[in-house]
Structure formats: C-alpha cells, structure tokens
C-alpha cells in the first residue's frame, strides 16, 4: 500500500515538511560517504529555514498543552490503559519542557556559526560548494567518518526537542483518523464535509493500481482526482475505478 498525506492547513503542512526533513537528515547522517554527509548538511540548512517560522514553537507548545489536558481527563477511566496513558503524558511533558527551554528562535546556534553559514550561502548557488569555492569544507569532508558524524549530530542536537514535539503531535493526529473505504468511479471521488474542519487527509491504495491521488479540500467538500503516469511520466487522467482507503484526521 502507498500512503499519501495531504495537509489542510499551514501548520500541519509545516510539520509534515519538518518530519520529512528530519527523516532525510537521519538517513544520510548515518551513512559514511562525504557526499551523504553533504546531503545531510544541506538538509540541516533546510530544517533551519522551515523551523524559522516565528509562531512554530508557540503553536507546538499550545497544542502539546491542549493534548495534555485532553488526555489527562481520561485518568481513572476503566476503558483506558493507565500505563499507556501515563506514558503518553510523560512524553508530552518531556517534549514540552525541552521545547520551552529553547532560547529564542530554533536554530540560532547554527546562525551563530560563521563557518556553517558560509557553507549555507554557497549551497544556495548551483554547484557553489565545490572544493575551489570552499576549501575548508573540502578538508572537512576528508576527515574521518566518526568526526563528521559527530559534528553533524552535534549541530542537529538542539533541534531534538522540536523533532520530539512535532512527532507527538503528528502521531496523535494520525491516531485520531476516521477511516473508510471507497471506490472512485472513473478516477474521481467527492465527499461533502458538512462544514467540519479537518487537518489532514490520508489516502491509501494498492501500489499496483498505478493511480496517483490529487487532493483538494475545503470545509465543505473533499475532491480526489486520480491520475496515472504515461511513458513520459506526465500525469494524465486515470481511466477506470480506484479502490482506496480514506482517512480524515483531526486532533
């Protein structure tokens, strides 16, 4: 099954982008080749750019507190596992404390590093990080793998509280999904939402179907148009019915 997720507001869009960037950073930082570590470092600069949104930290702290109060109300309920509930509440408290302890904007430690900022300014230019442009960076890429990995993980460490916080919010968002199965007749599907505000849409379908969902939505209507790829990979309307699972997610 292939999972497609579509954010329905700017906050969730930012969280999904950061989640994808953190996954990419971890993947390439764990590898050993200098080119992998170059990708990891460029990804770290992308995280810096996305995390610079002024209201991101306050939004996450407010959402964590809202979820903590909502879940705490289930204490003592016979239908809820006390151990699991307390575990989630502990994770929320730890993430909120770490996020609240970050001084100023996320990533300020990178902005204060002149060497890293010099690399960042060159990576914006196509091919701008060649050895003749940044000889000191070229020398760093020839350091032992362990040293390069230590540096990258050290530069990424102050973002850990942000990563933990968004991971909790997205996990709770996904776990709160309302799931249903549908068939898109001739590759098109519409569903009225009755004015209810959802935060994310998930579409799961068999990877062998060859269908690709293009999603649009507002508080009144969800529309999914399925396309497929021809020999030149350009999308074209999918001809036929598509069986898929739909999930509407909200916190």
| pLDDT exceeds cutoff 90 at 55 | no
Domain of residue 146, residue span: 9-170
Condensed to tens digits (0 to 9), the pLDDT of residues 214-251 reads: 999 887 889 999 999 877 888 888 888 999 999 999 88
Question: What are 189's strand-pairing partners?
Answer: 224
- What's residue 102's pLDDT? 82
pTM: 0.90
CATH at 200: 2.60.440.10
Radius of gyration of the chain (CA): 22
Owner of token pair 């770490």? 98
Same domain? For 123 and 239 the reply is: no
* Max avg pLDDT among 68-72, 79-83, 160-164, 192-196: 160-164
Q: Mean pLDDT check: name the lowest of 10-14, 64-68, 230-234.
A: 230-234
Kindly report the number of other CB atoms within 10 A of residue 216's CB atom.
Answer: 12
Same domain? For 139 and 197 the reply is: no
CA dist list (Å): 233 to 44, 207, 210, 225, 239:
30, 16, 12, 17, 16
CA 212 to chain CA centroid, nearest Å = 20
Of 170, 205, 234, which residue constitutes the final position of a domain? 170
Same domain? For 105 and 185 the reply is: no
Q: What is the mean pLDDT of the chain?
A: 91
- What's residue 52's pLDDT? 84
């Amino acid at each position: 099954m292939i999972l497609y997720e579509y954010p329905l507001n700017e906050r969730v869009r930012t969280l999904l982008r950061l989640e994808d960037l953190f996954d990419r950073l971890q993947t390439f930082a764990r590898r050993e080749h200098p080119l992998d570590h170059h990708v990891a470092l460029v990804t770290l600069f992308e995280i810096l750019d996305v995390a610079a949104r002024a209201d991101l930290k306050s939004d996450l702290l407010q959402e964590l507190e809202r979820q903590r109060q909502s879940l705490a109300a289930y204490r003592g309920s016979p239908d809820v596992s006390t151990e699991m509930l307390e575990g989630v509440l502990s994770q929320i408290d730890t993430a909120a404390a770490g996020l609240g302890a970050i001084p100023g904007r996320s990533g300020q430690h990178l902005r204060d590093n002149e060497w890293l900022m010099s690399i960042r300014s060159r990576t914006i230019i196509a091919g701008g990080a060649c050895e003749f442009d940044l000889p000191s960076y070229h020398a760093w890429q020839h350091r032992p793998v362990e040293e390069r990995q230590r540096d990258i993980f050290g530069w990424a460490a102050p973002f850990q509280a942000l990563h933990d916080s968004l991971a909790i919010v997205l996990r709770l968002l996904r776990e709160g999904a309302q799931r249903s199965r549908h068939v898109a007749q001739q590759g098109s599907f519409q569903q009225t939402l009755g004015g209810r505000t959802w935060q994310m849409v998930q579409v799961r379908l068999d990877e062998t179907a060859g269908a690709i969902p293009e999603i649009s939505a507002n508080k009144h209507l969800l529309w999914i148009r399925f396309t497929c790829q021809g020999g030149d990979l350009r999308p074209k309307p999918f001809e036929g019915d598509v069986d898929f699972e739909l999930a509407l997610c909200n916190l």
